[in-house]
A = this chain, B = another copy of it.
Amino acid sequence: MHVRTPEQASFAAAIDAFCRAKTGTRAQRDALTDHGKEAHSPALYAQMAELGWLGVGLPPEYGGSGGGLTEICLFAERTAYGLAPVGGYITTAVAAGPYLKFATEAQRAKVLGGIARGRVEAIAMSEPGAGSDVAALTCRAKKVSGGYVVDGQKTWISNAHLADHMLLVARTQAHGSRHEGLTMFCVPTGTPGVEIRGIPTMGGKEVNDVFFTDCFLPEDAVVGKVDQAWPQLMAGLNSERLILAASMLGRGRRAFDDAVAYVKERKQFGKPVGSFQALKHRVADLATELDCCELLVYRVAAMADEAPDRMLPREASMAKLKTTETAKRVALEGMQMMGGYGYALEYDMESHLRATVISTVFGGTSEIQRDIIGKTFGL
């Protein structure tokens, strides 16, 4: 229902066509993901890099095409809709933000140039004792001659096993407020003292525990200013929430379309099951909610693009909250509409459910988003 510019429309159409051709069938997706075990296909991602899509939100000097969050969202939405296994994109696009805003030219050239060429980036922030509560981080980067030594554990780190670098947030000052004394580092994933271990989840191989043991990082690994990771992180929250929202908008739309296709096809008692009012009304409600999500995501993206330095805590949290909750609802109800077929792995609905159910937790739980939104009303 949102209005795209002609350029955006043709970009979306190109992605849709690409996905129909490359990831349109279950067999194609199985081949690209080792039967669902992998969430990211480097081969497919490389083809997208060739097409110049992965730099859609980067400036031309780093190989990008100079678009904004709107275009990044469009990419995230349509690839999610197309079930393209490019799970590495989201953390990559989110990681790009701090590099763009705060990194040295050398860091930018290395990391952003890599992104446009199809490299994956990760962000190492959450810890076992600090999920949404970033300020509780304890992973320590101790100043030593010529650099820092990092010790500690990170958990929940998406795509670390695929990435060139992790954007690490570690504590460089033990004293002061919990929000102070955090610093960002660019850590090549092969650095000695870094160990990456996959965590089995309902969604397959996506997240990792990362252990840092006496891990030495040189001075020039610091991204932005020492002790200033907190404000640097805050500046990136709009984009993290929006990209996740856009991705779930795409996944939600796919779940919806799959369910509608099924209920039009499947017959019981001589009629398509979708013609029963109980299902027809459900379809109507879900369609309405998805259109609301679309309008919300792209309106907030436009606001962010109009004023890139503006913090949009209320709006970005609304987009994240509403879209992930809606996508989950669509998948849950879609599964019910498909009956036993929704529960069986041959159909995609169960993978839609697994993907969406975690989306209300990732990138700040729904509860955290509600806290943030409530706070903007002075509560």
Kindly report how many copies of this chain are found in the complex they form together: 2
Q: Is A260's CB under 8 angstroms from B377's CB?
A: yes
Cross-chain contact A287 with B377 (CB below 8 angstroms): yes
Chain B residues with CB under 8 Å of A314's CB are 287
What is the bound-complex CA distance between A280 and B372, given in angstroms? 9
Per-residue CB contact flags for chain A residues 274-310 toward chain B (1 = under 8 Å, else 0) read: 1101011101110111011101100100000000000
Q: Does A1 contact B (CB under 8 A)?
A: yes
Chain B residues contacting A275 (CB-CB under 8 Å) are 379
- Asked if A378 is at the interface (CB within 8 A of a chain B CB), the reply is yes
> CA A318 – CA B288 in complex, angstroms?
6
Interface segment out of the listed A87-95, A106-114, A210-218, A363-371:
A363-371
Contact B321 A284 (CB under 8 A): yes
Interface band, chain A: 35 or more
Beta-carbon contact of A379 and B263 below 8 Å:
yes
Main secondary structure on A side of the interface with B: helix
**Which chain B residue has the least Cβ–Cβ distance from A314?**
B287
Give chain B residues whose Cβ lies under 8 Å from the Cβ of A274: 374, 377-379
Chain B residues with CB under 8 A of A322: 288-289, 292
Q: Which B residues are in CB contact (< 8 Å) with A299?
A: 1-2, 295
CB under 8 Å from chain B, chain A span 225-273: 260, 263-264, 272
Asked if A135 is an interface residue, CB under 8 A from chain B, the answer is no
Given A296-B295, A299-B1, A379-B264, A280 contacting B371 (CB threshold 8 A): yes
A291 touches which of B277, B284, B318, B370 (Cβ 8 Å) = B318
- Partner-B contacts on A (CB < 8 A): 1-2, 260, 263-264, 272, 274-275, 277, 279-281, 283-285, 287-289, 291-293, 295-296, 299, 314-315, 317-318, 321-322, 367, 369-375, 377-379
- The 9 tightest CB contacts between A and B, nearest first, are A280-B374, A284-B373, A292-B292, A284-B370, A295-B295, A281-B370, A274-B379, A288-B318, A280-B379
